Structure 1
Amino acid sequence: MSQFLELTERSQHLLKVLIERYIDEGQPVGSRTLSRGAGLNLSPATIRNIMADLEELGLIASPHTSAGRVPTVKGYRLFIDSLLTVKPLEAGVTRELWKGFESLEEPHELLGAASRLLAQVSRMAGLVTLPRRGQVAFRHIEFLPLSQGRVLVVLVTDDDEVYNRVIRPSQAFTPSQLQQASNYLNARLEGKRLTELRDAIRQEVQQTEKRISEEIKSVLEAAGSLFMKPESLEEDYVLAGQTNLMDFTELSEQARLRKLFEAFDEKRDLLHLLDQCIEAEGVQIFIGEESGYWPFEQCSLVTRSYEVEGRVLGVLGVIGPTRMRYESVIPLVDITAKLLSTALNQKLASPS
């Protein structure tokens, strides 16, 4: 923002026009082009001086092969934060997005539809992270006795997923004791996130130690061990439209495109980047090197979280070149996240 305050009104206007022109055409913008398209009564010499000032501030740069200028990451950031006019999404587009959701029943179908719709409308890549196991909440648990002292744990989450795990407690339990433990946890832990369960169970054992039997305490401690391993909370995403990125000259160079597609397949670093958006409010934008991830050096990522009953489950977004049309991509991502949240709430909010 301090750099924004350093700019005169006409410098701001010229920067805005230059970036919009570059986004439209993908070619460096020269002073003569700006003098014709800026709508200001300025000579090419004056415009060249202003462009030199913008370049000194690090907002634009001059490629070696051209006399024109292109925006830098800093220039894009200032443009998005201070100069961009976001266009409301057309009502017809919103209706088409909702049509893509309303006929689907299963949560995984809704998530897949969201990634495809983002790709179709933006003509870039659309992605949606699957509900993070750490964000999904506990609904119900049952302990069922098996042979040889083993216990089957059936865990039901609030997104209607069912997980089965066999544990081997240090001692045998009767069906009655296991039922007592189930009742105890179901009465106290409903709504807790899965990542919170181990600590919550441990706390229950400590606080109620005098009011529960040693047998029930052992069952609870065994249940707590289910949530010790972070790999049991793995997350993933669905991606659509990645081949759309081949249509952009700056991304189509073979080595760069290969690295980008390898990043999509490898997933870990991209998921780490998306994880930064989970708790953030509103639309988040990473421009080029802001992602800290080399394969995305020429890309921007526009994201927003989606939720059920006010609880964030994951993130969706659009990946494209840094010269994407932010004024239309931002509302697209925003509305799609809200529509996906609405659709998921309708399918998942009421226990079946």
Structure 2
Amino acid sequence: MPDKELSERNLHLLTTLVERFIRDGVPVGSKTLAQDAAVSLSSASIRNIMAELEDAGYLASPHTSAGRVPTDRGYRLFVDSMVTTDVRTAQGLQHKIQGELHGGLPPAQLAESASALLSDITRQAGLVLLPRSASLHFRQVEFLPLSSKRILAILVLNEQEVQNRVINTEQDYSEEQLQRAAAFVNEHYAGREVNEVRELLLGSMREDKSVIDQLMQDAIDFASRALESVEPPSADYVIAGQANLLGSQMGQFEDMQRLRDLFEAFQQKKEILHLMERCAHGHGIQVFIGEESGYDVLDDFSVITAPYTAAGEPVGVLGVIGPTRMAYEKVVPMVDITAKLLTAALKG
């Protein structure tokens, strides 16, 4: 909500100044605002209001200019006060996005495509927290002989995740025996949730051993041991369009070390991942401006995110990261629509 301490006149002037600065990228002076058709005030009145806004922490005066630039607090009030966003532009890109996010693709690939599209249409860096299933499903297993009394268990989980396990055995097995063992496990347990398979395998191991032959008993033992340490994959994200951060808007950064630090954070992933996971538990569009994220590396940047869902449950987050001088009225609805279209695509 708009700050109650600001009069409607002061808020209107702040909004006009922020829009000017986002568009032109140079400090905005009173003469420039006096010539704006949306501002019906004298230069003297404008100077007084700008001084008030600066004292209140909404504007700052660069040392090299008589004009003013928005602070993080000024951007925040601007975003919270936006009466309209450029939904029409975002809707105009809807068909392009839908054409790329067609059903049938694996969820992670859909999410990566959405991130790349969002980066392309916003000219910011796109980032996406990849979808994580709350459960793991066992698809199939393959057993391969490695060396004396050692076999390799290749597990396929969910859609495409592959995990390998080395199992020590009390005897050697031929390739044909291991193929039969894997076929037995796949026939009886494929398609079930991993925790259920574990329980069923343990139950089978306690049953009368005369019911099945020794090789099938060994197959159950191999599968049980292979699934012991299986856990859902850790959270991960991908980023697209980092080069967009090197564009013309980056002239606002006097210290390019900040940009290098951000790229390093992209590589290490920890801080960005923490922020994305926080957003995954939120609702709707979230906008972090400068220091609001709580991470020093993002102090000169803004992050806009929206969750996407599958089967009615949030499974990831889509968003952009860019300079605080960002066209929020355009970017916010683009992030929102792209997240909704990704959700629709995940439904198939």
Q: Unaligned regions of 5+ residues in structure 2, if any?
A: 172-179, 208-216
Aligned equivalent of 2:264: 262
* Alpha carbons of structure 1 residues 234 and 13: separation in structure 2 relative to 1, 3 Å: closer
Quote the RMSD (CA, aligned, Å): 3.8
1:56-98 per-residue CA deviation (whole Å, 9 max, x = no partner) reads: 2211112222222111111111111123521214343111222
Aligned equivalent of 2:4: 5
- Counterparts of 2:61 and 2:205 in 1: how far apart (Å)? 73
Aligned equivalent of 2:230: 226
1:25-75 per-residue CA deviation (whole Å, 9 max, x = no partner) reads: 111112222222263443222222222222222111122222221111111
Aligned equivalent of 1:77: 76
* Alpha carbons of structure 1 residues 277 and 170: separation in structure 2 relative to 1, 3 Å: farther
**What SS class does the counterpart of residue 4 from structure 1 fall into?**
coil
Task: Please say if 1:314 is aligned against 2:316.
Answer: yes
Letter in 2 for 1:276: R
When structure 1 is superposed on structure 2, of 87-96 and 332-341 the one drifting more is: 87-96
Letter in 2 for 1:56: D
Task: Please say if 1:286 is aligned against 2:288.
Answer: yes
1:178-204 per-residue CA deviation (whole Å, 9 max, x = no partner) reads: 9799968976x48xxxxxx6xx999x7
* Alpha carbons of structure 1 residues 15 and 21: separation in structure 2 relative to 1, 3 Å: same
User: Which of structures 1 and 2 has the bigger CA Rg?
Assistant: 2
Aligned equivalent of 2:343: 341
Aligned equivalent of 1:350: none
- Counterparts of 2:103 and 2:257 in 1: how far apart (Å)? 41
Aligned equivalent of 1:26: 25
Deviation at residue 150 of structure 1 after TM alignment: 6.4
- Counterparts of 1:320 and 1:283 in 2: how far apart (Å)? 16
TM-score by length of 2: 0.76
Aligned equivalent of 2:50: 51
**What SS class does the counterpart of residue 303 from structure 2 fall into?**
strand
Aligned equivalent of 1:96: 96
When structure 1 is superposed on structure 2, of 85-94 and 97-106 the one drifting more is: 97-106
**What SS class does the counterpart of residue 308 from structure 2 fall into?**
strand
Letter in 1 for 2:347: N
* Alpha carbons of structure 1 residues 344 and 103: separation in structure 2 relative to 1, 3 Å: closer
1 or 2, which has the higher helix percentage? 1
Q: Percent identity, please.
A: 40
- Counterparts of 1:42 and 1:234 in 2: how far apart (Å)? 53
Equivalent residues in 2 for 1:202-221, closer than 5 Å: 213=206
Aligned equivalent of 1:152: 153
Letter in 2 for 1:273: L
What is the count of residue pairs matched by the alignment?
325
Q: Unaligned regions of 5+ residues in structure 1, if any?
A: 191-196, 347-352
Task: Please say if 1:124 is aligned against 2:129.
Answer: no
Task: Please say if 1:137 is aligned against 2:135.
Answer: yes
TM-score by length of 1: 0.76
**What SS class does the counterpart of residue 111 from structure 1 fall into?**
helix
Letter in 2 for 1:115: S
